[in-house]
Amino acid sequence: MAVHPRLFSRRPAAAMVQAWLMGAAFAALLPITAHAQIGSYRYASIIVDDASGKVTEAVNADSPRYPASLTKLMTLYLAFEALRDHRITLNQLVPVSMHAATREPSKLGLVPGTRLTVEDTILAIVTKSANDAACALGELIGGDEDRFGQMMTQRARALGMTHSTFRNASGLPDPAQVTTARDLALLAHHLIEDFPAEYHYFSVPSFYYHGREIPNHDRMLTDYEGADGLKTGYTLASGHNLVTSAVRGGVRLIGVVMGASSNPERDLHMASLLDNGFIQLGVPIAPHAPRHFRMPSLIEVAEAAPLRPHYASLRSHRLVHGKLVHVPARHIAEAAPARATLAVAHGHTAPACKAVARHHCGVAARRV
């Protein structure tokens, strides 16, 4: 598909090489323990109208930054691509290597030699931001994580992400793994545009794994009207990062904030930038609409995001006592006749689903 000209202008090859070398040198000098904050030298942001590519706001949008768990957006892009091309299936078992099992948190706690399905790895990535699951999925697709990192970088180049380099599937610290706010906005655009059938995974409020409920962590999805996806990320080196998509009045904005000092600061700043973007595009915003951003739970290294239900994609969800619950594909066929344990997700009642509530409320969701 065509790349938005306003969002991704072409540069002469020599200039691109020079910018990349400067970015790599800068990334190598980034202090690992520095604290990020809005307005600091590691801060970057961009807000883009997804339909036109118009940039409503941008600060340091082409400066190199550590992606942290925003890296997993590219991991999921390659996974969705492999699903589309029938190289893997949702029910396919993913072996857990010693390398994958020993990744640092956030993680599921996978045991070497065990297996889980491709769909479970996807769900673990978008909810728990599980580094062990991301690594195992990368090894399945690429053969090993180093090779998968090369595949990620090659795909990034093909998408027009000229300032991004990936070294692992999870976003755990690597001084050579860098990106920009503009590149991440482009990646979010392609995830939404190229994989509309898979985008609903970013909206899953929670899922069950081995009888344990894994909730999502992204506060924007419940606290910002219209937010329907993408991801959070954090390491000591990167600060608190966020990619958010929100739709209001038929307009979809993609926002990227990098280098905040805390989750509340990051979320409030993203909300303000999105509000300003909608106003610029003629979408009215309530002048004193209350926001109830909650204090986050403890953050783990390379934590990633989850997302509020995309109600247009009900094929993998069921309403249980008015709550939207994700049901992995392999269980949907058996969920209706079975008297299974009800899995009630933490989250809000789905207002857009009231019209089909009576149809779905009788369907029981099984624990995974």
Q: Which pLDDT value is given to residue 83?
A: 98
Mark whether 263 and 319 lie in a shared domain.
no
Tell me, yes or no, whether 188 and 53 share the same domain: yes
Co-location of 225 and 263 in the same domain: yes
Domain contains 342: yes
Verify that 213 and 255 share a domain, yes or no. Answer: yes
The last residue of a domain, from among 259, 274, 304? 304
Contact 106, 296 (CB under 8 A): no
pLDDT at 218: 87
Our count of domains for the chain comes to 2
3-state secondary structure of 202: helix
pLDDT attached to residue 287: 65
Distance CA 171, CA 164 (A): 12
69: annotated active-site residue: yes
For the chain, the average pLDDT equals 78
Answer yes or no: do 352 and 214 share one domain.
no
Same domain as 329, residue 279: no
Q: Which of 304, 325, 351 lies at the terminal end of a domain, its last residue?
A: 304
Give me the CATH number covering residue 260: 3.40.710.10
Structural domain includes residue 254? yes
Q: 205 with 342, same domain?
A: no
- Look up the domain containing 225 and give its range: 33-62+180-304
Instruction: State yes or no: pLDDT of 4 exceeds 60.
Output: no
Residues 198 and 285 in one domain: yes
> In this structure, is residue 69 part of a structural domain?
no
Catalytically annotated residue among 69, 164, 170, 203: 69
Q: Is 72 a catalytic residue?
A: yes
Same domain for 58 and 184, yes or no, is yes
Catalytic residue among 45, 63, 72, 238: 72
DSSP, collapsed to helix, strand or coil, labels residue 175 as: coil
| Residue-wise pLDDT tens digits, 330-341 | 444 333 333 232
The three-state secondary structure class of 216 is coil
Q: Where are the beta strands (DSSP E) in 51-90?
A: 55-59
195 and 266 assigned to the same domain: yes
Pair (334, 259) in one structural domain: no
pLDDT of residue 299: 37
Q: Is residue 211 domain-resident?
A: yes
Q: Are residues 278 and 349 in the same domain?
A: no
Q: What pLDDT does residue 190 have?
A: 98
pLDDT tens across 274-333, in order? 999 999 999 988 764 545 544 443 333 454 333 333 333 333 444 344 444 455 554 443
pLDDT band at 245 (very low <50, low <70, confident <90, very high): very high
Does 117 fall in a domain?
Answer: no
245 is known as an active-site residue: no
Catalytic entry in 45, 63, 97, 129: 129
Instruction: Flag whether 45 is in a domain.
Output: yes
Does 166 fall in a domain? no
Residue 36 CB neighbour total at 10 angstroms: 26
Task: Quote the percentage of the chain above a pLDDT of 90.
Answer: 62
Q: What is the pLDDT of residues 46-74, one digit of tens each?
A: 999 999 999 999 999 999 999 999 999 99
Range of lowest pLDDT (78-82, 135-139, 217-221): 217-221
